[in-house]
């Protein structure tokens, strides 16, 4: 679908997902309003169809002028912080209050046809259910904020509470809302800063502790951006969409990196985990149901391969 004549707003334009979202929207000839950030000006089509604005996530009404006249809004802004001195003030409040602020602005604009919010797979999988290879995770799963809090997973708490208030407000105010729940987002960077999910790989490699015996649901940032656009464009889109291209144990990521970077020095623990790999019980391995995502895409999404994602993330960090 062409975006000619359509105006959309991307909240969080300086972020990892949002930067790719702006890039792909401009390629589809949308006119895009985005949070003021310099690196977006270098994108193709930016000179003609990109308008930057300043707004505060926590300042009520600060999005009103940016959203006015838009056909759709993408809210991607939320603190992607895994640890904080004050989790309530640094992670949870900005996510919840920022989401409500954007939706309140949207409720004032009758031209808005749909709002797409970036949530997380963390909003889905922390519900007390055991994750095994035969378990299928889908959009009906809902994380329990109490479990997230007990795990001290404050990012998951923030995403859970933010989505709760989003659906409540949308239902009460007649807003057509879709939420997208990606796994760990990796792939090439457009923005000058490195986000938390891309840092995961070097942090795991270079951190002082042994590797955790756990798996990650990886998805390429370009796939995530494309699904956001489909969630806006496909008229029948509704509800929640889980999104992950691969579920991989950390040992598989190490193996790929060692194949790609023969001259890179890896710590001793990298060799230990590969030696022990056959004996590991790979906790948390599961699959994500693709049925609803396939209906959104009208065909199965051709995800970037695991090796592509890891390679391009690493290239952005170690070039």
pLDDT tens, position by position, 258-275: 676 555 565 555 444 444
What is the predicted pLDDT for the residue at 84? Answer: 82
Q: Is the pLDDT of residue 314 over 60?
A: no
* Mean pLDDT (whole number) for 304-319: 51
Q: 182-196, 236-250, 282-296: which has the minimum mean pLDDT? A: 282-296
What is the predicted pLDDT for the residue at 170? Answer: 98
What average pLDDT does the chain have? 80
Q: Which residue has the higher pLDDT, 306 or 46?
A: 46
Could you give the percent of the chain with pLDDT greater than 90? Answer: 43
Q: What is the pLDDT of residues 280-290, one digit of tens each?
A: 445 555 566 65
Q: 12-21, 51-60, 240-249: which has the minimum mean pLDDT? A: 240-249
Residues 198, 216, 283, CA angle at the centre, nearest 5°? Answer: 150
Beta carbons of 94 and 57 less than 8 angstroms apart: yes
Does the domain spanning 7-318 belong to CATH 3.40.50.720? yes
What is the predicted pLDDT for the residue at 119? Answer: 95
Q: 11-25, 30-44, 153-167, 296-310: which has the minimum mean pLDDT? A: 296-310
235 by Cβ neighbours in 10 Å (0-12 / 13-18 / 19+) ranks as exposed
Q: Is the pLDDT of residue 58 over 60?
A: yes
Going by pLDDT thresholds of 50, 70 and 90, the confidence category of residue 125 is confident
Going by pLDDT thresholds of 50, 70 and 90, the confidence category of residue 54 is confident
């Amino acid at each position: 679908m062409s975006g000619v004549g359509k105006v959309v707003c991307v909240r969080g334009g300086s972020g990892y997902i949002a930067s790719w979202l702006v890039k792909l929207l401009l390629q589809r000839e949308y006119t895009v309003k985005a949070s003021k950030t310099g690196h977006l000006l270098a994108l193709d089509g930016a000179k003609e169809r990109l308008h930057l604005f300043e707004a505060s996530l926590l300042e009520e009404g600060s999005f009103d002028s940016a959203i006015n006249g838009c056909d759709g809004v993408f809210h991607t802004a939320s603190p992607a912080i895994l640890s904080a001195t004050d989790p309530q003030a640094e992670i949870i409040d900005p996510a919840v209050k920022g989401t409500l602020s954007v939706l309140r602005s949207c409720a004032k604009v009758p031209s808005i046809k749909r709002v797409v919010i970036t949530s997380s797979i963390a909003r889905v999988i922390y519900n007390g259910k055991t994750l095994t290879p035969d378990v299928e995770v889908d959009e009906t799963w809902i994380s329990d904020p109490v479990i997230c809090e007990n795990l001290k997973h404050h990012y998951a708490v923030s995403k859970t509470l933010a989505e709760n208030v989003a659906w409540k407000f949308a239902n009460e105010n007649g807003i057509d809302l879709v939420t997208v729940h990606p796994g760990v987002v990796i792939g090439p960077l457009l923005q000058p800063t490195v986000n938390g999910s891309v840092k995961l790989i070097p942090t795991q490699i270079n951190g002082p502790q042994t590797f955790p015996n756990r798996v990650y649901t990886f998805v390429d940032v370009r796939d995530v951006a494309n699904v956001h656009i489909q969630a806006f464009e496909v008229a029948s889109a509704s509800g929640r969409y889980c999104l992950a291209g691969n579920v991989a144990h950390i040992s598989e990521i190490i193996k790929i990196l060692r194949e790609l970077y023969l001259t890179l020095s890896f710590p001793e623990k990298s060799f230990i985990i590969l030696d022990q790999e056959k004996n590991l019980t790979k906790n948390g391995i599961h699959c994500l149901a693709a049925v609803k995502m396939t209906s959104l895409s009208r065909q199965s999404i051709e995800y970037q391969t695991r090796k592509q994602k890891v390679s391009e993330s690493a290239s952005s960090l170690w070039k």
